[in-house]
Structures are given as C-alpha cells and as structure tokens.
Amino acid sequence: MGIKRFVKDMLKRMMLNPVADYLAREINAQLLVPNAPEMEPVLCDFNHYLHELRSNELARMPKGASIFLSAGCSGTWYFDWIKKEYGKLDKHIGIEFYMPKPDDLPAYVEWISDTVGAMKGVADESVDMVFSGQNVEHLQFDDLVGFIFESNRVLKKGGWLIVDSPNRLVTSPLKWLHPEHIAEYTVGEMEEMLSTAGFQTEHKKGLLLVRESADQPPWSIGMADCPWKDRNGWLRRAINAYHRPDDSFVWWLEARKQSEAVDKGRVRTVCKRIFDCARQERVEREQY
C-alpha cells in the first residue's frame, strides 16, 4: 500500500470510528435484548445476522451491471435475493455443480451445471460483474485457480469481481469449523492472489467485528453470550467492522479487472503457496 493511501485510510478510520460508535450507542439504546423465542431470528441467530450484513453489502455493490455471474448458487431463492438487494439485471448466469437446476427459474436466469473453475458456455469478456459469495473457502486448489483464471476471462475490462469469505485470522483462534470448508483465507491473501491475476482491489471491508486487535483473543460469536447493549454489542460490531477486515468474521473484497495478460505460472505459484498454508491450518484446526 502506498504511503498516501495508508495515511488516507488511517485518517478516515480516525474520523469515522467515533461517529460509528456514537450512532451504535444511540441505536442500541432503543433496542431490546433479544432473549425471547418470539424475537426475529436475525436478532438471536448468528447465521441470520450475518446473512443480513451480507445483504447490506450486496445493495452497496457498484451499480450498472447488466450481465451478472454468480460463482455458486443454490436455488431460485438465491437469484431472488440478488435481485432484491442489488437490483434488476438483464441476465444472471449461475454456475453451480453440486445442486440440481431448479424448475422455476426466472426467464432472465441462465443456469450452468459446472464447477466455478470451468465456466464453459460463458463467452470471453461478456460479464460485467462476478460475485463469489461464501464460495472460495469450499474450493480445492485446482478449482480455486480455475475460478480466478475464469473470472478474468469472462469479465469485461474494468468489470468487477466481488468475493466474500470467513477470515482465517479469527476463525482459527476461535476454533470455528464449518464441515464443508476446505481452506479459509485472509483478505490480504485473496488480494495477493487476485493482484497476480490482473485484478486491482478497489474496496475491502469487514463484516462483523470479532476482536479488538490482533494481539487480543476474539470475542464470542454466540449471540446469547454477548448482550446487544454492551460495549461490544452486535450492532456496534457491525458498524465498526467496516474498515477492519482483518479483525472481522467475514471480509468483503471488491476488485476490478485491469488486464487480461496474466502469467498463469506465477498465479499458480502464488495461489499454491497460499492454499497450502491455509489448508494446513484448517487440517490442524480439525484436530482440536
């Protein structure tokens, strides 16, 4: 990162964090602690809350995409979700290998039964935006590299690649496990992999702050363990995560395609180093 960008980000954080804290305190003062079963699920279920935070980011993605590609999609509800949060699309391509094609897909949706590492049937430079929502952590190495190559191939010059994923910097010390995850990455690792493949990071954000700093243990992610109104309450965690992806449970990265001239050998070398490290940590975590 250049010194000017570093100073700019630091000043932005210094100015915005107090504002975020103030807003969170004011809003939290109006909230009830969710301890009754009749409360909305988003207020008492971690996965529901995380889904709502991701929905907010979908609505904030760069506007103007007409041809949208989802790397991984699990049913008609998924396309309805994207349309509701992002807006109307001329065409939405869904790449999915493990789920059957739904019978009730909207007319603007094209379903391709394939892995995200092989987007056959999608023309070169034909897509405005690729969205990989909670997907890269499920990929074996060949599919991970293939997904990066294919995203570059199908995106138009200047097109957007949006990726979000659980952050290993906090899932590891939390000993958090998802049975279907192969490897989890840091936002810096994903940024490095994409930069070697012709992408430039424009935005990186955190969703749901889960620690004060790198030298402090993560807070609990059990919603019953942490009241909404304390200093690390759930609303404040969401607001204060924005500029702190390394301290958040999920990072969100938005990158633009800058070049189609990619040194595939170098990309594979960088991705293999990062994947092997992340995979080894994941295997060791399973032993606890």
Each residue of 170-215: pLDDT tens digit?
999 999 999 999 999 999 999 999 999 999 999 999 999 999 999 9
Sign of the dihedral defined by the CA atoms of residues 237, 184, 272, 98, in that order: negative
Domain that holds residue 209: 3-285
Give the CATH number, domain containing residue 81. 3.40.50.150
Whether the pLDDT of residue 13 is over 80: the answer is no
Query: How many domains does one find in the chain?
Result: 1
pLDDT value of position 74? 87
**Measured between alpha carbons, how far is 281 from 183 in angstroms, rounded to an integer?**
8
pLDDT value of position 36? 42
**Measured between alpha carbons, how far is 137 from 144 in angstroms, rounded to an integer?**
9
CA distances from 270 to 1, 191, 232, 263 (A): 19, 11, 37, 11
Going by DSSP bridges, is the β-strand pair 91-95/109-112 parallel, antiparallel, or unpaired? parallel
**Measured between alpha carbons, how far is 25 from 97 in angstroms, rounded to an integer?**
44
The SS3 of residue 254 is: strand
Give the lowest-confidence range in 27-31, 99-103, 273-277: 27-31
| 24-73 pLDDT per residue, tens | 555 555 444 444 444 455 567 889 999 999 999 999 999 999 999 999 99
Whether the pLDDT of residue 21 is over 90: the answer is no
Size of the chain in residues: 288
Range among 23-32, 40-49, 151-160, 234-243 rated most confident: 151-160
Gyration radius of the chain's alpha carbons: 19
